[in-house]
């Protein structure tokens, strides 16, 4: 299983970015997907997740109302749309997946991880 996270970059506060997580060797329809981030000197934290099948979603309190998550099963890709970005959103963002219905914001419940993409929010 391979996950490829992309879409990171430098953005000004208040700006937007869309991260993509493309999967190979699996069909994402049957997998829950989570997005996590890790800032320098901090522990990895769950940001958002989406369940398989009916696409229930969950978000960390820190990003509710600003981030959305969606999946395009035809492209085998999950997206994290990040709006109203703040400097505290700066981190390496990772996507992860596990073969289950319900999604979780706990990193130890995921089996496969992408390589991470850096998001820097700065003026």
Tell me, what's the pLDDT at 27? 86
Sign, CA dihedral 82-113-119-23, equals negative
Check pLDDT > 80 for residue 55. Answer: no
Question: What's the pLDDT at 54?
Answer: 65
Quote the CA–CA distance of 16 and 67 in Å, as a whole number: 9
Contact yes or no for 48/66 (Cβ under 8 A): no
The predicted structure's pLDDT at residue 44? 96
Half-sphere exposure (Cβ direction) of 65: Cα atoms closer than 13 Å: 3
Instruction: Quick: pLDDT tens for 5-18.
Output: 999 999 999 999 99
* Model confidence pLDDT, tens digit, residues 19-39: 999 998 888 888 999 999 999
How far, in Å, CA of 54 to CA of 37, rounded? Answer: 24
Q: What is the pLDDT of residue 1?
A: 83
Structure-block tokens of residue 3: 């996950």
The secondary structure of 29-64 as a DSSP string is GG-EEEEEEE-TTS--EEEEEE-STT--EEE-TTTT
Q: Could you tell me which residues are beta bridge partners of residue 30?
A: none
Q: Which of 11-20, 29-38, 47-56, 65-74 has the highest mean pLDDT?
A: 11-20
Mean pLDDT, rounded, for 48-67: 92
* Mean of pLDDT values over 116-121: 97
Instruction: Give the pLDDT mean for 76-85.
Output: 96
Is the pLDDT at 53 greater than 80? The verdict is no
Rounded to the nearest 5 degrees, what angle is found at the Cα of 119, between the Cα atoms of 67 and 89? 50
Task: Identify whether the C-beta of residue 112 lies closer than 8 Å to the C-beta of residue 98.
Answer: yes
């Amino acid at each position: 299983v391979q996950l490829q996270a992309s879409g990171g970059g430098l953005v000004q506060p208040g700006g937007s970015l869309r991260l993509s997580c493309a999967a190979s060797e699996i069909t994402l329809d049957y997998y829950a997907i989570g997005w996590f981030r890790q800032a320098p000197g901090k522990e990895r934290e769950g940001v958002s997740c989406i369940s398989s099948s009916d696409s229930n979603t969950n978000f960390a309190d820190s990003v509710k109302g600003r981030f959305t998550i969606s999946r395009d099963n035809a492209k085998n890709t999950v997206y994290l749309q990040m709006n109203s970005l703040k400097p505290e959103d700066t981190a390496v963002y990772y996507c992860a997946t596990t073969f289950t219905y319900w999604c979780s914001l706990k990193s130890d419940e995921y089996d496969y991880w992408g390589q991470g993409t850096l998001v820097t929010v700065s003026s």
